[in-house]
Amino acid sequence: MQITTKAIIFSSLKYGDTSLIVKAFTESDGLKSYLLKGVLTSKKGKLKAAYFLPLMQLEIIAIHKNKGTLESIREAKVAVPYKSLHTNIAKNSMVLFLAEMLGNSIQEEEQNEGLFNYLEYALYWLDVHAPNPNFHTLFLLNLTKYLGFYPDTSFQNQPYFDLLEGSFYKKPSLNPLIQGDDLDHFKRLLGINFDALPTVRMNKPQRQQLLKNVILYFELHLHGFRKPKSLAVLNAVFE
């Protein structure tokens, strides 16, 4: 079936000498994988390899057979021309990290309008604002709303956050916990939007520990989740 839809690119992997395998989150059908034959050598075609950078927002005309095999894209055009996302070093390091996290976290092959809208908005916000070293952590924390495990804030005044249970508790358990100063930093990001990021103050070790806890939170709640390889690059950029 031919379909026109918006799509956000998660990854592109070289296949042979001339082709790409692209993983994208589509507005119409959720996660899809495409084989783009000859795209690396084609100069006159309607598909250009530069369109398929991580987290590019495209409008595509695709053939979806929905048989569990690689789909195909007939045409693509840039839906949101970025101003700085791939040229600013700090933002680009966030893009590579978040694209890997999204690829490791989102597996649903069905429409999720709320999740797609969130990704659209967050990427636009990052593109038009100065890079903030806490953006990617808040991005991931708010992403859990759409993945089904956002922290339960009912007892937010308690001294322990149980990462496995996703809730605050008065007494510690044997599960991985956030506590002490780390918990204070964690709470600062709960319930805020990106516009409030300039009010959140943390030093580098505090930011890295918070991000480490959030990644562990993903690992505990998503089956088959793989830790991102791009984390080391991200940490180096924000030293």
Please, what are the domains in the chain?
A: 2-78 (2.40.50.140), 89-237 (1.20.1440.120)
Query: Could you give the C-alpha distances from 207 to 151, 152, 203, 210, 230, in angstroms and in order?
Result: 19, 22, 6, 5, 16
What backbone phi and psi angles, to 5 degrees, belong to 62? -130, 160
Residue in 43, 58, 75 with CA at minimum distance from that of residue 116: 58
* Mean pLDDT value across the chain: 94
* pLDDT above 70 for 239: no
- Read off the amino acid at residue 143: L
SS3 14: strand
- The model carries a pTM of 0.94
Instruction: State the pLDDT at residue 41.
Output: 86
| Cα 100 to Cα 118: distance, rounded to the nearest angstrom | 17
Poorest-confidence range of 131-135, 179-183, 189-193, 225-229? 225-229
Phi-psi region of 116 (alpha: psi -120 to 50; beta: other; left: phi over 0): alpha
Share of the chain above pLDDT 90, in %: 84
108-111 CB contacts, 8 Å cutoff, 24+ apart = 108/30, 108/31, 109/29, 109/30, 109/31, 109/32, 110/29, 110/30, 111/27, 111/28, 111/29, 111/30
* pLDDT above 90 for 45: no
Which whole number is the average pLDDT over 84-94? 94
More confident residue, 54 or 69: 54
Tokens of 208: 């890295």
Which whole number is the average pLDDT over 160-179? 97
User: Cα 104 to the chain's mean position, in Å?
Assistant: 9
| Cα 59 to Cα 204: distance, rounded to the nearest angstrom | 38
